[in-house]
Amino acid sequence: NAGVTQTPKFQVLKTGQSMTLQCAQDMNHEYMSWYRQDPGMGLRLIHYSVGAGITDQGEVPNGYNVSRSTTEDFPLRLLSAAPSQTSVYFCASSLNRQGTYEQYFGPGTRLTVT
């Protein structure tokens, strides 16, 4: 199993540009989520999905869009990049939404918006 994969590893955008961060998992997990990690802030939940076709907002959803057309993929779209979106983004998945199940994290995408 490859686990959770994310692409790209690094990305530089100009303000106003849009892009999609890719996330895929091959563990047949129902639950997938996107976090952003900023210095001194821990990880904050952006969006999550409890299964194909179902998504919901997390703590910091503004400026981001998600969709879940398959169990495996959960892309995160930045609609119009802003410098405040400079961060490291992590995708995670778990067997289901029960909190006792381990979340598996991808290696992250480091995004810089200039």
Partner 1 sequence: GNSVTQMEGPVTLSEEAFLTINCTYTATGYPSLFWYVQYPGEGLQLLLKATKADDKGSNKGFEATYRKETTSFHLEKGSVQVSDSAVYFCALSGTSAQGGSEKLVFGKGTKLTVNP
Contact call for residue 14 and partner 1 (CB under 8 A): no
Contact call for residue 22 and partner 1 (CB under 8 A): no
DSSP state of 84: G
**Gap between the Cα atoms of 14 and 50, Å rounded:** 32
Minimal distance, residue 48 CB to partner 1, in Å: 6
| Out of 51, 58, 63, 75, the residue judged to bind partner 1 by CB under 8 A | 58
Quick one: residue 88, left, alpha or beta (phi over 0 = left, psi -120 to 50 = alpha)?
Answer: beta
**Gap between the Cα atoms of 107 and 83, Å rounded:** 22
Q: In this complex, which beta carbon is closest to partner 1, that of residue 36 or of residue 71?
A: 36
Contact residues for partner 1, defined by CB under 8 A:
4, 33, 40-45, 48, 58, 90, 92, 97-100, 102-108
